[in-house]
A and B are shown apart, each in its own frame.
Chain A
Amino acid sequence: MNNCLFRRRVDDYLLDRMSADDKGRFEEHLFQCGRCFRDVSEHEAVLAAVRKHGGRIFAPDARTAPARRISRRGFPPAWAYAASAAAVLLAIWIGFHPGNRDGGGVPLTPPSSDAIRGGSMEGIAPAGVLPAAPSALEWKPAEEGLDYTVSLSGPGLAWSGRTAAGRIEIPPDIRAKLVPGIEYRWKVRAFAPQGGLAAVSRETVFRIAP
């Protein structure tokens, strides 16, 4: 059991809910405390698995089915994802604002589709090279009443925001951190009012022209 005081900040650190100063102190502590480092490593792994496969892990049928059965049977084959994607494809396009709508566009697809497997589908979104740091991220809302969580990350940067609109401003302090020539990734997840995941975009990459 880890009784270290920093332990209670593990999730805050991984979910990026810490000030820059606290983050620095926390990371320095990780270099000194083996137990906290182990906790962070393990939580990071769980977070990565949940972010990537959460659509399936938390799907309503997975919730009611006996857990052991899910575990033993493994996951539906790829064709099943593809078939459900084809059946209920939502044509939502995500583009950068301002400009470069073509460069940054990625479709949002329902969570039961292959798109939830995000990172394994490399190279689907065209890499957008932008003339300047974008001031906002924009997409076409799927339907009324959805809630969107947008995450943007890159070297030294991890930001996420929520909105009910089809557009979110990048806060000036985050915008100021975008370095020309470096790749940044962003992604949108849409949630229904009852809390279910309605759609997930593929991850897309942009770079500000040097």
Chain B
Amino acid sequence: MPLARPDIDLDQMAEEFRPKIGFKVRRQLGPSNPDWEDLVNEILAQAVDKIRSGEFRGDSAVGTFIYTITIRRIADYIRHKSRVLRHVPEPSTPADPAEDAEREQQLLRLADAVAALAPKYKAVLELYYFRELSREETARRLGISPAQVSERTHYAQRLLRRRLGGDFPFLVRPGD
């Protein structure tokens, strides 16, 4: 029987990968899908089992290993869901109103902070994020280079992090 990898701290692994798995699951299923948290727990449990049983032998990075489990499980979920819906139209489960209200508050706080940024950052966020112009078109309209467009979104992110501290980022932290 293969041996479990003794060098992997499973608690630490769960702590590191829970947000990453949550991020991927929510992007794939939509942020209001009520099943996302269960799916994250299931994926983590699978990863822990496979590491404990020695199925993960370290041929790839742990991240790649867990990413693979994640995308397979999501694909299964979508397949199963469409099969179920083929037979029984499922009523959509309403999202948790308390969670929605909290998320809305956080988004408002962040929007406030964005509104208070210097005009040169706001202009980039307006054209590139809000109007969804291409990087090149955004650059052309602002008279800067396309590389500067990316630099400014990154710099805006750092300013917002400084301003919002521990509240940021908040949208991708499962189980908070």
The answer to whether A binds B is: yes
Which residues of A are interface residues toward B (Cβ below 8 A)?
Answer: 7-8, 10-11, 15, 17, 24, 27-28, 30-34, 37-54, 56-58, 62-63, 67-68, 70-71, 74-75, 120, 127, 149, 151, 153-156, 160, 179-183, 185, 189, 191, 195, 197, 210
Alpha-carbon distance between A52 and B100 when the two chains are bound, in angstroms: 14
Alpha-carbon distance between A84 and B92 when the two chains are bound, in angstroms: 33
B side interface size, CB within 8 A = 65
Residue among B29, B85, B168 making CB contact with A42, cutoff 8 Å: B168
Q: Can you list 20 residue pairs at the A/B interface with Cβ under 8 Å?
A: A8-B150, A17-B134, A30-B20, A44-B23, A44-B172, A45-B110, A46-B110, A46-B160, A48-B107, A57-B125, A57-B126, A63-B119, A71-B112, A120-B104, A155-B30, A181-B81, A181-B84, A191-B131, A195-B127, A195-B131
Alpha-carbon distance between A159 and B113 when the two chains are bound, in angstroms: 28
A28 engages B64 (CB within 8 Å): yes
A47 engages B82 (CB within 8 Å): no
- Given A44-B169, A155-B33, 9 additional A-B pairs, CB 8 A: A11-B135, A31-B17, A42-B160, A42-B161, A44-B172, A51-B129, A156-B28, A191-B131, A197-B131
B115 engages A154 (CB within 8 Å): no
B157 engages A42 (CB within 8 Å): yes
Which residues of B are interface residues toward A (Cβ below 8 A)?
Answer: 16-17, 19-20, 23-24, 28-30, 33, 61, 63-64, 66-67, 70-71, 74, 78, 81-82, 84-87, 89, 92, 100, 104, 107-108, 110-119, 122, 125-132, 134-135, 141, 150, 153-154, 156-157, 160-161, 168-172
